[in-house]
Amino acid sequence: PRYCHPIRIENEKQQWEGTDHSDQQLLQITWSNTKPQKGVNLLSYYDIEWLKSWRYDDGALRDRRAKTEVTTEQAIKSISKGGAGVDTKSKLVEVKFDEIIHFDDEKDKLLVLFKAIFTHGAAIVKNCPDVDEGPTSPVTVIARALAGSLSHGSLYGDLFHVRAEPNANNIAYTSVPLCPHQDLAYYESKPGLQILHCATMDPDLIGGESVLIDGMAAAEKFRQIAPDHFRTLVTCPATFVKQRDGACMTYLRPHVVLKEGPDMNDIDREIVAVNWSPPFEGPLCLPPDQVRSYYAAHAAFERMIDNSLQTRDSFVTAFLSEGELAQLGE
């Protein structure tokens, strides 16, 4: 195991006790005791490999970025052969519902689910029961297993159903195709995890396909092909808005967020977040001389994403069949 805190702190007169750690190199630190009345010095032990993994010289920072940054090579369909999920239709890790509902008995499967969401941005839970309400619904059960509870229910409730309705006040409740977007982008703190349950899907149904886009990989590709437009999406905040009876929410944030660094004008910094929700964008709050360049960059990124839906680029995959549940890391 790796530790971000001392593996053990003990009295200097004590000896290291524990499991066999012959293959584990440890750094011992002796802390001087400035209060003699409390006794002898204390010892701390740190895992050498863990310390090395958090070096901050230039080479180490480059290596760490290479391991963590999402690029087109690490996108959904580019998961290396032999990696988890590569043999599935969606190219995502898949876990059965019954394997994770008993947390005490199936901690390993829950860990697989957590790791898949963290590593690939999404995962699939198969064979979910056809329950769409109450505490036994798959959405509620999985949410409690992953996060302890549901959240962000003030606008639509903890659970809401996406189905076509007459006289709908939201495009989501119609049969009109939805363009790629994130939900609830107008919150100051967006959901970190979204759960979608495909309760029914008629095999003869035309349309209704769920499509997942790896926004981080898409942004990386956009940086490569249109660096000037990419810079605009990094530096110009978009306006995300929700306005209807009983709701008036607005939040400004850039479409692409880069990791902070000493040179904030450097657009080659690591991409750490993407905010994209055209159906819920409002009037800009930008100086007049930036408006034209913003809309040009916005249109270029939108065209790239829309075209990727037709070509099924490496960062696009279709997912969710009847009885399946998807967890998406926002």
In angstroms, the CA 318 to CA 309 distance is 10
> Whose CA is closest to 110, among 121, 99, 123?
99
Closest by alpha carbon to 21, among 45, 4, 42, 41? 45
Report the alpha-carbon distance of residue 145 to residue 102 in Å, rounded.
9
Which pLDDT score, from 0 to 100, does residue 132 have?
82
CA distance 126 to 136: 16
| In contact, 100 and 93? CB cutoff 8 Å | no
In a structure prediction context, what are the per-residue pLDDT tens digits for the chain, which is 330 residues long?
444 455 555 544 444 454 455 577 888 887 776 665 555 667 788 888 888 878 888 888 888 888 777 777 766 655 543 444 456 777 788 888 888 776 555 567 888 888 888 888 888 898 898 888 888 899 998 888 888 888 888 888 888 888 888 888 778 888 888 888 998 999 999 888 889 888 877 777 777 778 888 888 899 999 999 999 999 999 999 999 998 888 899 999 999 999 998 888 899 999 999 999 999 999 999 999 999 999 999 999 999 998 888 777 766 777 778 788 787 776
β-bridge partners, 94:
124
β-strand pairing of 256-258 with 271-274: antiparallel
131/137 Cα distance (integer angstroms): 5
Q: Could you count the other beta carbons within 10 Å of the beta carbon of residue 286? A: 18
Please report the pLDDT score of residue 12 as a whole number: 47
Taking the CB of residue 54, how many other CB atoms lie within 10 A of it?
Answer: 10
250, 195 Cβ separation under 8 angstroms: no
Global pTM reads 0.77
- Residue 82: per-residue pLDDT: 40
- H, E, C per residue of 129-177: CCCCCCCCCHHHHHHHHHHCCCCCCCCCCCCCCCCCCCCCCCHHHCCCC
Q: What is the pLDDT of residue 85?
A: 46
**CA-based max dimension of the chain:** 80
